[in-house]
Chains A and B, each alone.
Chain A
């Protein structure tokens, strides 16, 4: 008698638990909780992914990071005769935050002059993407990539020097 009651109880409890949808669905389905939606957006809706002609005199190419570190960014800028950056492209081997940082960097340099682009700080990138402390180095690498691209462009503008690029 008790066994039958216990059996029914067991089945009822199983049934109740298995079918209960009362848990808030939103909290359970948060796979990207680690990533801010701005970071995810840069991957899902990519902008400025690609390459420019690196042999061109108006294109500066910056390649920073190392595969052994798990972070490599290539950032290219195209500058017009007036010294304004008219186009930028990037490619990144790295985590979601690295991809977003370099993507945001290309968005920000467009329309700036070469001098203005030098003022872009990694802290601004990190703030815009709400990067957690453990991912701050991604924004630092993005800043390095911008500076490397600008340095490469400047080097190309110097007369009688060959196209020195990495």
Chain B
């Protein structure tokens, strides 16, 4: 208990110096060091007033909601028992927390808690779900796997219709709902989903945790990827990480409360961003269906300007061009190619991510910088020059190098 008293001493020194903590959890994590340095505290080190870029890349990952961190901390510091220990209070309280989190995840998607298995993330969940296909020997068994919301262009797939078709044809239906859970209403029974992958860090929860929903009635059989002590009904051996799981449960509960408000606010901000950009710049294309679209993921192609040069120019904003998964390769986005985008427009695409903590000021700043730099890069672009001169780019015979 030396730890606890040391924490208490440090904490009281901090709270004394800092004054009253704001009641509403705020996201003061931008590390504008000048704002946080308390006056007259000798311990404060010499820090530069350095600003970090704005974060507009929520499809890649999301920051922890402060309420999630609050839920997790006791399990990182104090309640550190293994949830599978049956013989003492540490195990019991940890297990209770895991089961509470399981209920929170289940209630977000209309499932029974017995149908939720915790994993290390949506990727592991996808592997478990799809491996079932390989494990089944009967030739007539098949599986349909569709993303609920695409992470690059934000398009929503008609999950309920697909579920209905699969159910009528007795085919298993899996969906990777990492970008959709907690953002659009999902119900595994209404949509006839048999398997669903969930990711913690896409919904303002911690990284390193996810879940797979596996339908019980009618039973869906999956094969375990990793064997060991038989935890999680034998489907995913390995000690369940209580703090991460508690964080994920808290993230799901918060998402359920905030879904409607978030969706409305994000839609307004998305509309603001797109309208402002399209009003000020010609030749901007929005990729993806405008109707069946999750508003927080906006993918725009700025013709005659290459995406990576725009990212370099917009150095005060964290954005993405194409999928983060393919950023190491020189290929343009396979998603854009699949929807039939011209290759030069695919190279010109930027993804703007608007999330729960994105402010109107951040959107306005991003829009202003974007407009300024697109105009500047177009001045440097030979393609823009040729188009201004009335040349049809499609008529040119380009060299290959």
Distance in Å: Cβ of A104 to nearest Cβ of chain B: 14
Q: Which residue of B lies closest to A67 (CB)?
A: B344
- State the CA gap A125–B47 with chains docked (Å): 37
Flag A4-17 by CB within 8 Å of B: 1 or 0 each. 01101111111111
User: Which B residues are CB-close (under 8 A) to A92?
Assistant: 380-382
Contacting residues of chain B (40-59) with chain A, CB-CB under 8 angstroms? 44-45, 47-48, 50-53
Contact between chains at B400 and A66 (CB < 8 Å): yes
**Closest chain B CB from A60 CB (angstroms):** 15
Question: Which residue in A8, A14, A26 is a CB contact (below 8 Å) of B70?
Answer: A14
Q: Quick check: A65 and B401 within 8 Å, CB to CB?
A: yes
Contacts of B396 in A (CB 8 A): 166
Number of A-B contacts (CB under 8 A): 164
Q: In the complex, which of the residues B11, B318, B380, B382 has the most CB atoms of chain A within 10 Å of its own CB atom?
A: B382
Interface membership of A95, Cβ < 8 A:
yes
A35 near B312: Cβ-Cβ < 8 Å: yes
Contact with B along A95-115 (1 / 0, CB 8 A): 110110000000000000000
B31–A31 touching, CB < 8 Å:
no
Say yes or no for A141: interface residue by CB 8 A criterion: yes
Give Cα distance in the complex from A53 to B289, angstroms: 43
Q: Does B4 contact A (CB under 8 A)?
A: yes
Contacts of A134 in B (CB 8 A): 328, 330
Which of B11, B304, B307, B328 is within 8 Å of A15, CB to CB? B11
Q: What is the total number of residues of chain B having a CB less than 8 Å from a CB of chain A?
A: 63
A141, B401: Cβ atoms closer than 8 Å: yes
Q: Would you call A129 an interface residue if the criterion is a C-beta within 8 Å of the partner chain's C-beta atoms?
A: no
Is residue A1 contacting chain B, with contact meaning CB distance below 8 A?
no
Q: Is the CB of A9 within 8 A of B78?
A: yes
Chain A stretch 34-92: residues in CB contact (< 8 A) with chain B = 35, 39-40, 43, 46, 49, 51, 63-74, 91-92
Contact with A along B371-385 (1 / 0, CB 8 A): 000000001111111
State A63–B33 Cα separation when bound (angstroms): 48
**Interface mask (A121-161 → B, CB under 8 Å = 1, otherwise 0):** 00000000000001001001100100010000000000000
- Cα A39 to Cα B7 in complex, Å, equals 47
Other-chain contact of A12, B8, B312, B385 (Cβ < 8 Å): B8
Asked if A18 is an interface residue, CB under 8 A from chain B, the answer is yes
Chain A residue numbers with a CB within 8 Å of B28 are 18-19
Indicate whether A32 reaches chain B with its CB closer than 8 angstroms. Answer: yes
Cβ A91 vs Cβ B382 within 8 A? yes
> What residue of chain A has the Cβ atom nearest to residue B329's Cβ?
A134
- Residues B277-320 near A (CB distance < 8 A): 304-309, 312-313, 315-316, 318
What chain B residues lie within 8 Å of A5 (beta carbons)?
Answer: 4
Given contacts A29-B51, A141-B401, contact A93 B306 (CB under 8 A): yes
A12 in contact with B7 (CB, 8 Å): yes
Q: Report Cα–Cα, A9/B332, bound state, in Å.
A: 49
CA distance A148 to B14 in the complex (A): 66
Given contacts A21-B33, A21-B47, A31-B315, contact A94 B70 (CB under 8 A): no
Chain A to chain B contacts (Cβ below 8 Å), 17 pairs: A13-B73, A21-B44, A25-B31, A29-B50, A31-B315, A43-B309, A46-B380, A67-B343, A67-B398, A69-B343, A72-B382, A74-B385, A91-B381, A93-B305, A95-B308, A95-B309, A98-B306
Seed contacts A13-B73, A93-B305; 6 additional CB < 8 Å A-B pairs = A9-B11, A28-B52, A31-B316, A32-B315, A69-B400, A92-B380
The 3 closest A-B pairs by CB, nearest first: A12-B11, A67-B344, A70-B347
Residue ranges of B at the interface with A (Cβ–Cβ < 8 Å):
4, 7-8, 10-12, 14-15, 18, 21, 28-29, 31, 33, 36-37, 44-45, 47-48, 50-53, 66, 69-70, 73-74, 77-78, 304-309, 312-313, 315-316, 318, 328, 330, 332, 342-344, 347, 379-385, 393, 396-401
